[in-house]
Amino acid sequence: MKRLLIPLAVFLLLVGFLAVGLNRDPREVPSPLIGKAAPPFELPLLSQPDKRFAPGDMRGKVWLLNVWASWCVSCRDEHPVLVDLSKKAVLPILGLNYKDRNDEAQRWLQQFGNPYQLSVVDADGRIGIDYGVYGVPETYLIDGEGVIRYKQIGPLTPAILEQKVLPLAKALKK
Amino acid sequence: MTRTAGFVFLCLLLAFSVAKAQEGNPQTENRIRQLEEKLRCLVCQNQTLADSNAELAGDLRRQVREQVAAGKTDEQIIDYLVQRYGDFVLYNPPFKATTVLLWVGPFLLLAVGAGVLVVVLRRRRRAPEEAALVPDEKRLVERVLGPAQAGGEAAELRNGEPR
């Protein structure tokens, strides 16, 4: 009996490790940017290309930067969640339109609604690289000091908003 | 005739020189290639930047190329990508507090395995060739075969030949 116990324990340990490992999403690479200042940029607005926006303009506010594109299928799943959030007006949402075509992006917003206070255009994806974007949609929660506090890789869901993003944003606003 | 040949020759010369110019310095190309093979594409995670056809990989290759052209060292370029994407972009992760288990783990497992093997072998050597009968077995043998004198038959019984 005792002889069986040790292999059994080792086996259970292995099962435990595998269970944890297999339930993790390998696509979620931890971002080294959390706790660091949001990389600066100055990009033209989607709606008015002659005007420009820089993250410094949001100083003193807690806000979401959502990376989206009209070609991105998961963005379509995420979009209603963002529209709902924008109606509640608890948190300004700004869009980074990533490697998209201007006309298609505009049409997309007309069709599905525009939850963004404004969207900036990152046509060649350079700013995306600065933010470590590798799978659209991605969302960053940025505090009043301009520091990235949270990064969501993949679509935001109501559950993630309720459990992670909104409580954190509330705490940061204080 | 010679004029046409000359023209064709000039065309070919031009074509080659254009191709050569696009290719750039072979040493630089080699360096870029080596850098790209050290870096992981984040979209198709088991491919290097050099192998991947993902759009992001293309963008990152462009970044590498531009930075090489700007005279950055290999370390600076790798740091640039690690700052943005973390150690995960490296195919050869650095040895530090968070990666100790990754690097030492296999050797640790090997050592544990070797330790277990040594213990088991020692125990086996120390154990007697054939285990003596425990009192319960002895009583069973005596009940079946009558009072003790038949060691050989008892062994047969244990080999599983019923009588």
Residue B23: pLDDT above 80?
no
Q: CB distance B42–A99 less than 8 Å?
A: no
Please give the structure tokens belonging to residue B131.
């285990």
Q: CB distance A131–B84 less than 8 Å?
A: yes
Q: CB distance A29–B82 less than 8 Å?
A: no
pLDDT of A136 reads 87
In a domain, A142, yes or no: yes
User: How does pLDDT run across A78-121, given as a tens digit for each residue?
Assistant: 999 999 999 998 999 999 999 999 999 999 999 999 999 999 99
Considering the domain architecture, whether residues B53 and B16 belong to the same structural domain is answered as: yes
Considering the domain architecture, whether residues B80 and B6 belong to the same structural domain is answered as: yes
pLDDT of B130 reads 66
User: How does pLDDT run across A141-172, given as a tens digit for each residue?
Assistant: 999 999 999 999 999 999 999 999 999 999 99
User: How does pLDDT run across A22-77, given as a tens digit for each residue?
Assistant: 888 777 777 889 999 999 999 999 999 999 999 999 999 999 999 999 999 999 99
Residue B148: pLDDT above 70?
no
Residue B153: pLDDT above 60?
no
A/B interface, count of CB pairs below 8 Å: 37
In a domain, A126, yes or no: yes
CA distance A96 to A174: 26
Mean pLDDT (chain B, rounded):
80
pLDDT of A30 reads 76
Report long-range pairs for B79-87 (Cβ below 8 Å, ≥24 apart): B81/B39, B82/A32, B83/A32, B84/A32, B84/A33, B84/A129, B84/A130, B84/A131, B84/A132, B85/A29, B85/A32, B85/A132, B85/A134, B85/B42, B86/A29, B86/A30, B86/A31, B86/A32, B86/A132, B87/A32
pLDDT of A31 reads 82
Among chain B residues, the shortest Cα distance to A6 is held by: B116
Name the band, by pLDDT with cuts 50, 70 and 90, for residue B97.
confident
pLDDT of A115 reads 95
Q: Which residues of A touch B86 (CB under 8 A)?
A: 29-32, 132
pLDDT of A70 reads 94
Q: What is the CATH number of the domain that holds B67?
A: 1.10.8.640
Nearest of A44, A38, A94 to residue A66 by alpha carbon: A94
Q: Which residues of B touch A99 (CB under 8 A)?
A: 55
pLDDT of B10 reads 66
pLDDT of B158 reads 54
Considering the domain architecture, whether residues B61 and B18 belong to the same structural domain is answered as: yes
- Residue A156, class by beta-carbon neighbours within 10 Å (0-12 exposed, 13-18 middle, 19+ buried)? buried
> Could you tell me how many residues make up chain A?
174
Q: Are A103 and A132 in contact (CB under 8 A)?
A: no
* Structural domains in chain B (count): 2
Among chain A residues, the shortest Cα distance to B60 is held by: A129
Q: CB distance B88–A29 less than 8 Å?
A: yes
Residue B3: pLDDT above 80?
no
In a domain, B161, yes or no: no
Domain ranges, residue A165: 34-173
CA distance A122 to chain B (A): 13
Residue A11: pLDDT above 60?
yes
CA distance A45 to A52: 6
Q: Please give the average per-residue pLDDT across B27-49, as a whole number.
A: 87
In a domain, B137, yes or no: yes
In a domain, A25, yes or no: no
Residues of chain B with pLDDT > 70, as a percent, come to 75
Spatial CB neighbours of A146, under 8 Å, sequence gap ≥ 6: A37, A38, A55, A56, A58, A59
Q: Which residues of A touch B84 (CB under 8 A)?
A: 32-33, 129-132
Give the predicted TM-score (pTM) of the model. Answer: 0.72
The ipTM (two decimal places) reads 0.77
Domain ranges, residue B133: 99-148
